[in-house]
Structure 1
């Protein structure tokens, strides 16, 4: 079994990943800022070594990478790296010491969908700082793996769903009122014809893919894998399925983007644009073939999150 250092251990992915690692017998070091707890309780956390670090401060001092290296992890999993400089500082410190480095990227490295389902190795044209930086990190890590045999694997999640937080909803944003509109059987208005796509993934399925990558080291090092459900959803289909989940027939209306946007909050409209402008639809064939990846469906992932939200009074159904 390995000593596994998980950076950003109490977030969406870490909530599910850390208990999985503990139950598999790994020695887990959970690195966090110390400002949050896992979304779900689990007795496995009592067996975890907790380290509190302020990444931003240590990176400005040039010591974050060496601090992580000093934890002597066989495996390092970085859930919260967002710039190329940040990735460089960490990997430079880990060279020659770590057996496996796993980086959490994003399907937003693809930018607009072009070929669908989109494989991992197509030419990438990201837009927006987040996608551009993540694409740069991916290119850097893959080059490092090929030129210097640095044992890197990149996992690119879609829209992460799980118990404890709001899932991306059928309108393409995160306002829980959308689910309440559906739960009451009232009319939900969608932008355009509702044919843009979003691509969910349950956080636990990302955790499972990370462990599959660790287990299949030879197949995963130097590679990038999509962490998404078996199929993307159109907004229209997603909304219709949610009406049926709450016991209603679909009750949808549609409006051109500018009209629809004028009836949303600025925050919701911006979130919807960020998601549907990309309309991701990503392939998981590589992960299935090389690692045996078998995630649950988007709807099953969302329904798990909704069950928690309803049970905890976050959605009035």
Structure 2
């Protein structure tokens, strides 16, 4: 078994990944910025080595990469790298010192979808600071793999869903009021015709894909894979399914973008634009073919589990 260092270990992905790694017999080191706990309790965490490290502060000193290398990992999983400089500092420190490095990217590296479902190897035209930086990280890491044999695998998740936090809702933002509107059978306003798409992924399916990549090292190294559910959903289809899940008849109204935007808070409108401007619809064929990736959750099943958790824990008032 391997000694695995997980950076950003108690967040969305780590909550599900760490127990899987422990139960698979790995020696796990969880690196976090503070004393944060995972979203869900699990006895497996008692067998995890916990290391507190402020990535931002250590990177400012030029010491973060070396500090991770000093933990003597066989494998490093980086859940929280957002800039090219950050990726470069870590990768340079790990060259020749790890068997496998797994980086969590994002499907936002694609920018606008030109072909759907979108495969990993199309020309990417990202926009926005987050997508642009993540695309630059991908280019750098895959280039390092080609030139120097750096053993990297990149996963690009969609909208991450799981128990413990609010999912991206049918209006394209994260305000739980949209689910309250649906649950009460009231009318939910959607922009345009509600035909833009969102593509969820359950955090546990990301954890499974990470483990598949580690288990299939020879075909995973030097590659990037989408980590999404089997199919994207339109806002309209998503909303109608949630109405029926709550036992209500769908009640939707459709508005031009400008009219809909005027009906929302600035924060919700901005979040929706970020999602529907990209309207991701990503293929998982490469992951199926090379790694045997078969996500357990559809987008709707993942969201419904998350909403059930919100209801059961008093986070969503109806």
Instruction: Give TM-score, length-normalised by structure 1.
Output: 0.99
The runs of at least 4 consecutive aligned structure 1 residues that moved more than 6 Å come to none
Counterpart residue number, 2:205: 205
Matching of residues 109-128 of structure 1 within 5 Å: 109-128=109-128
Find out whether 1:240 has 2:255 as its counterpart. Answer: no
Find out whether 1:22 has 2:17 as its counterpart. Answer: no
Matching of residues 129-278 of structure 1 within 5 Å: 129-278=129-278
For structure 1, the residue ranges without an aligned partner over 5 or more in a row are none
Aligned-residue offset at 1:122: 0.2
Counterpart residue number, 1:81: 81
Aligned-residue offset at 1:35: 4.3
Counterpart residue number, 2:49: 49
Aligned-residue offset at 1:314: 1.0
Tell me, what secondary structure is at the counterpart of 1:125? coil
Counterpart residue number, 2:316: 315
| Whole-angstrom CA distance in 1 between matches of 2:45 and 2:157 | 24
Counterpart residue number, 1:70: 70
Instruction: Give TM-score, length-normalised by structure 2.
Output: 0.99
| Whole-angstrom CA distance in 2 between matches of 1:300 and 1:219 | 30
The two structures, once aligned, show a CA RMSD in angstroms of 0.6
Aligned length: 317
Aligned-residue offset at 1:41: 0.4
Cα deviation digits, residues 270-289 of structure 1 (max 9, x gap): 00000000000000000000
Aligned-residue offset at 1:36: 1.9
Which range moved further: 33-42 or 116-125? Answer: 33-42
Cα deviation digits, residues 101-160 of structure 1 (max 9, x gap): 000000000001111000000000000010000000001111111110000000000000
Counterpart residue number, 1:300: 301
